[in-house]
Amino acid sequence: MRRGNLEIAVGGFVLLGLVCLAYLAIHLGKMEVWGGGYRVVANFDNVSGLGQGAPVEVAGVQVGRVEAIRLTPGDRAVVTLRLEPGLQLHDDAIASVRTKGIIGDKFIQLSPGNSEKLISAGGTIHDTESTIDLEGLISSFIHGKV
């Protein structure tokens, strides 16, 4: 009888440890298990260095993540953003690819806009600013094509 209680206690402790480990993995990994929020897309000429899972920010506050990046037949990058449910983007919103820190991690900076019309779930951000191709600029300068 005493050994059975000990086995139940150890089993409960192991189960509690596994639940805590799963919570930490999801929370620290910033995984979205239940897929909250809504999606919008933005078309860019160049998203060099931007990856899936990159943060989306408004005024320096993270409000979403890059969910997917794909190439259109017209050689443009279509970036799908998953944004928090309470965020309201207006029709004149601007999405920009920016660099964070000295290492050069890329993220999407959103300027929400001021127009009367809102972008609904599944909508498109029309005004975008692509990343600057620094290597291309330096190459053009060195070869006198500026």
Locate the domains of the chain by residue range: 1-31, 38-140
61-93 per-position pLDDT tens digit: 888 889 889 998 888 889 999 988 888 888 888
| Sequential DSSP letters for 96-144 | EEEEETTTTEEEEEEE----SSBPPTT-EE-EEEPPP-HHHHHHHHHTT
Give the C-alpha distances (Å, rounded to integers) separating 109 from 44, 95, 99: 13, 6, 9
pTM for the model: 0.67
Binned at pLDDT 50, 70 and 90, residue 34 comes out as low
